[in-house]
Structure 1
Amino acid sequence: MTEIVETRRDRIARRQVDKFGERRAQLAAAALHTLAELGYARTSLREIAQKSEFTHGVLHYYFNDKVELITQAVRQYEQVCVTRYDDIVATATAAEQLRDDFGMAMATTLDADAPLHRLWYDLRNQSLYEESFRDDVLEIDGHREQMIGNVVDCYADLSGRPLLIPSTTAYAIFDGLFQQALLHKLAGRADAADNLRTEAARLLDVVIGQGRP
């Protein structure tokens, strides 16, 4: 009988933990677009509450402060982002196919998710000052680096040529290209996505010594 009671207690405890985690995820998802719209410095828990269906008290119950909420929100978004090129890598049978699909995917996510990408860069810049979420930013950045590393490694294999630079350097180059395109997109340049698509594809050739920088 004692074992049965303990088992039930464990199940109830696990269910409560699961519900707490689900609620945090729901709140973070609701906050994400407010954060993307206003940025780190201009967003408070009260501001998020005003732009969502949740009260300020509810947000405070599930999150200690806006740093914790922002980190949770960006982590959830990044769980999707860091897999955006997986299918391209998995299905590519020729270097040209991978190059074209990768360039198109970068352009598409720039057009579709510009405010959310802006939030990521804002958070990464803030981590230079805010030590409290620096470790989280470094972890997320590491996942993004691996994502690009998978692309350039696959492209090199399909091309039959070695990478001329480490995948970490390739990530820095592609990330800089994307951030520049994001700035142009937010500034209203209509050709930002098309230029990104072209340049991302061209850079794949550059990192294997097949194109001109």
Structure 2
Amino acid sequence: MASASADPVEPVRPARVTGIDKIERRRVALAESALKTLGELGYARTSLREIANNSEFTHGVVHYYFRDKIDLISYCVRYYKTKCAQRYDEVVETAASADELAVGFLAKLTQTLVEETPMHRLWYDLRAQSMFEEQLRDDVTAIDQLLEQMIWRILTRYADLVDGTPTVDAPTAYALIDGLFEQAVVGYAAAPDQVPTQLTDRVSQILPKLITT
């Protein structure tokens, strides 16, 4: 039994949430709510009001946290693609062989193609729109760089596992893999039973050719 003179134990206080943290949490919640609508309707057909009508948030709340449609859509795609890029990190860190890395990478690539096609359609739509909407360009460039770095981590790890070196630079590797993935996203609606296997076969063919041993 503790003595009466023992110092009282102060209760653990929860970490304070700053105003900035609260705003960012709400923006994330809005983004997660908006992504489904954006993926279904695409860039051109989506408005802040349409997003609010398909979520639990009012139009006023959506407009409070995002100044316009471009601000919201850019945030949503950046948020989604950041999570998407990070999902491959475990494969890179845990693969013990080149074959294991390739299998893990391709499994996640086809999984996201099948399960999240609308989000990828939205990204490619947004990237195309950035040629005409200057306000989109900085965000699109940042997302492209994020995805390029993700592909480069996979390729350089693959090279390490076969004691080789990449035969191309990071932008080229990204353009090749992303081009095959975009082609799969476009074709998936017409041939959902065939396209995932085609994507796996094509990336499997090109990946070893990007390495010299």
Sequence identity of aligned pairs in percent? 47
What's 1:76 paired with?
79
State how far apart, in whole Å, the 1-side matches of 2:88 and 2:110 are: 12
Indicate conservation of the 8 Å contact 2:82/2:146, yes or no.
no
Residues 32-111 of structure 1 correspond to what in structure 2 (within 5 A)?
32-111=35-114
How far does residue 17 in structure 1 lie from its aligned partner after superposition? 2.6
How far does residue 209 in structure 1 lie from its aligned partner after superposition? 4.7
Larger radius of gyration: 2
TM-score computed with the length of structure 2 as normaliser: 0.88
What letter matches 1:65 in structure 2? D
Runs of 4+ in 1 over 3 A off after TM superposition: none
How far does residue 188 in structure 1 lie from its aligned partner after superposition? 3.1
Indicate conservation of the 8 Å contact 2:52/2:58, yes or no.
yes
Indicate conservation of the 8 Å contact 1:92/1:98, yes or no.
yes
State how far apart, in whole Å, the 1-side matches of 2:27 and 2:76 are: 9
What letter matches 1:179 in structure 2? E
State how far apart, in whole Å, the 2-side matches of 1:145 and 1:48 are: 30
What letter matches 1:165 in structure 2? V
State how far apart, in whole Å, the 2-side matches of 1:163 and 1:20 are: 42
How far does residue 189 in structure 1 lie from its aligned partner after superposition? 3.8
2:52 is the alignment partner of 1:20: no
Indicate conservation of the 8 Å contact 1:102/1:201, yes or no.
no
SS in 1 for 2:43: coil
What letter matches 1:41 in structure 2? A
Aligned positions, number = 199
How far does residue 60 in structure 1 lie from its aligned partner after superposition? 1.3
Indicate conservation of the 8 Å contact 1:36/1:116, yes or no.
yes
Residues 46-195 of structure 1 correspond to what in structure 2 (within 5 A)?
46-195=49-198
TM-score computed with the length of structure 1 as normaliser: 0.88
Residues 2-21 of structure 1 correspond to what in structure 2 (within 5 A)?
15-21=18-24
How far does residue 16 in structure 1 lie from its aligned partner after superposition? 2.5
RMSD: 1.7
What letter matches 1:92 in structure 2? A
Indicate conservation of the 8 Å contact 2:88/2:150, yes or no.
yes
State how far apart, in whole Å, the 2-side matches of 1:15 and 1:161 are: 48
2:208 is the alignment partner of 1:208: no
What's 1:199 paired with?
202
SS in 2 for 1:39: helix
Indicate conservation of the 8 Å contact 2:78/2:143, yes or no.
yes
State how far apart, in whole Å, the 2-side matches of 1:135 and 1:60 are: 21
The gaps in structure 2 that reach 5 residues or longer are 1-14
How far does residue 207 in structure 1 lie from its aligned partner after superposition? 0.8
Flag the structure with higher helix content.
1
How far does residue 104 in structure 1 lie from its aligned partner after superposition? 1.8
